[in-house]
């Protein structure tokens, strides 16, 4: 898995990556009550705001971790945002993205670097 400074995780899934937010992010945000996901097929650039989330504490955005195309979204999360809290690394994923430049993924943090950042 790879991680961003914005507390997102990426896990390879074929030629795409599944993207979600980390347990650290969910603990900071509190219970999620609303998620607005991007449209499948949307082309995004790294750091574009592509998901809107609202929690009991704040509204926030999830940024595109790399340039690419959204290939899937987690409709179950839109129906039940609390999945991001109860299973952030599993059923609480947000979207899948196919990078246009896979080398951007290599520039993201590994687990040790992310753990050190939030330490």
- Of 90, 100, 32, give the one whose Cα is nearest residue 62: 32
Confidence of residue 13 (pLDDT cuts 50, 70, 90): very high
CATH 3.40.50.450 fits 2-101, yes or no: no
The pTM score is 0.95
Cβ atoms of 117 and 6 within 8 Å: the answer is no
Structure tokens at 114: 């992310």
Structure tokens at 3: 């991680």
61-99 pLDDT, tens digit each: 999 999 999 999 999 999 999 999 999 999 999 999 999
98-116 pLDDT, tens digit each: 999 999 999 999 999 999 9
* Predicted local distance difference test score (pLDDT) of residue 54: 96
């Amino acid at each position: 898995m790879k991680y961003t400074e914005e507390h997102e995780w990426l896990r390879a899934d074929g030629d795409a990556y599944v993207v979600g937010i980390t347990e650290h992010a969910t603990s900071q945000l509190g219970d999620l009550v609303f998620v607005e996901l991007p449209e499948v097929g949307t082309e995004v650039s790294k750091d574009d705001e592509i998901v809107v989330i609202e929690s009991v504490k704040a509204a926030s955005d999830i940024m595109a971790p790399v340039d690419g195309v959204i290939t899937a979204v987690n409709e179950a999360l839109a129906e039940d945002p609390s999945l991001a809290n109860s299973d952030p690394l599993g059923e609480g994923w947000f979207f899948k993205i196919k990078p246009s430049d896979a080398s951007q993924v290599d520039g993201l943090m590994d687990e040790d670097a992310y753990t050190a950042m939030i330490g």
